[in-house]
Chain A
Amino acid sequence: MTAFYAWIGGLAQRGLLPSDFQYPFLVRGFLCVLIIAPVLGGVSHLVVTRRMAFFSAALGQAAITGVALGLLLGEPLNAPYAGMFGFCLLSTLAMVYVKRHATLPPDTLIGVFHALTLGLGLCLLVALTRQFNVHQVESVLFGSLLTVTDADLLLLLAVGIFVAVMLVREYNALLLDSLSPPLARVSGAEPAYLEYFFALLLTLSIVVSLKIIGALLVEALVVVPAAAARNVARGTRSYLIWSVAIAFVAGAGGLGVSTRFLVPTGGAVVLAVSAMFFLTLMARSTSRRRGTV
């Protein structure tokens, strides 16, 4: 990877790429955005279609707790993966299981998990800040380019490819199940399997993106790109394309703002994607007034 960064840096020095690309950490950050955009933008349109926005928020909170658990168990601050993945996957399985077997409305149940994991995470974080610098812990909450390593990048790429391959396999069944679980069942799909399957893929996508975006804000990148895309898409294909494109533009734009103004990456990315939502909303309103929608 050192040779690769040196080559990119050379292109930047010659003016063929923006001058910021002389710095390996920025190149890593941009590569992360290139991977995160199709992964999160891609799952985003299914998250919104399957009404899992609140579920995603609860997963983000669970990731905080997972990081805290990992650190308390002795994992390194810049790679508490066992804690993150382990706790988040367990939380996902528990949430889906309870949702499928309880009689309370799904948002109420997820609210319970949301509160539980947040309370547990906050208590553990207080314990952690006695052992670590609080700014190091902030990077977990809000994301930080500076903490992303080559190993993180490769992990993101591997998980991104895995999630994409799995989604391609079950996409049509997932979409039909979102529209009508009875029709999905009649066509041979198993709604319970699909629910667990997608929730676990979502968990992997969110956890692997945490370093860049942060646990508190990653949910926004799983929901807002699709919400914005809905304002302008005209079919499933354009829905996916717009979701990914909006996630990419917000990611790259947020990255630029973050490095220019020294604000947390996650915050900058979320502001950028929110701005795009309102832009697409205005575009839709304008089209409606002209009678073209």
Chain B
Amino acid sequence: MAAETSAVPAQRHEHPSATLASRAARYLAALFIIVSLNFLLPRLMPGDPLMNLVGEEGYYAAGGALDELRSELGLDEPLPVQYGRYLRGLLSGDWGYSYLYLRPVRDAIALHLRWTLALVLPSIIIAALLAAVLGGLAAWRRGSRTDIGLSAGNLLVYAMPHYWLAMLLLFVFSFRLGWFPLGRATSGGATDLPYLLDVGWHMLLPLVVITAFKATYDFLIVRNSVVSILGEDYVLMAQAKGLSAASVLFRHVLRNALAPLVTVTAIQFGMVLSGALLVEVVFSWPGMGTLIYDAIGARDYPLLQAAFLIIAVCVLLANFIADVLYPLLDPRTR
């Protein structure tokens, strides 16, 4: 979305606030479509959410009580009525009740979202920084052993399924070497600084996997972007002025090569979140991945709706931020 709206230079000079409002309107329209799809898609899947609510063996024993329960949860109402109730609930901040967690959806998500953000946000930032530095370096020394080594290494990691990489790291560093725990987020019992250190110890391996997953993709984007810029006159000018290589690369070249990285980061935000799903399962990390994984199995409509909505909003927000940042990074697109 960011690439679509920003890659083409503006043809008319609109007032900045009007442009922003127009973009916001488009994002709102996208949000409405997403909200509607979020409602519809889980209901298209076969299966009965009540089975999870009363348990497999309780399901057959419940008899008529199931109908009462279905009515109580509004699952026997026509879809348009359920949709209307869902929209009203969203607007009033009521996201419904989770059949799986048997608590308000907001509470269930609050327990898990922070763990996913704790994992994903640092991963995205570290991956972007790594990609910028290593991608820039590889491009600057294109054709050299550094470039070949970095590019080959990136392609190797990029080609690995990230859950497989997660299993590999778990096996080597946790099981064989015993340097890290076999998953989960804490050892329990600690508070304050020891607690944070303990969480960091548990977080490191999943963080490495998600960072690697994102950084290897970004690396190629940055490398190609830098290579395309290196032939520009202003780069030659900077070199002619006698600036050091590092200064030319980091102050002049990378600055102009960052715009595609911002776009890709925004577009990839959803992919990183979904990629974290399987990594979370491998590392028994109590984040949104395990929540969504369980909610799909249980056909927990309200929880699925809310989880996907949060992810969609995060992606839209990331794209919106990219839209706002892009003109700052590249004045030609203002």
**Does B associate with A?**
no
Residues in chain B within 8 A of chain A (CB atoms): none
Residues in chain A within 8 A of chain B (CB atoms): none
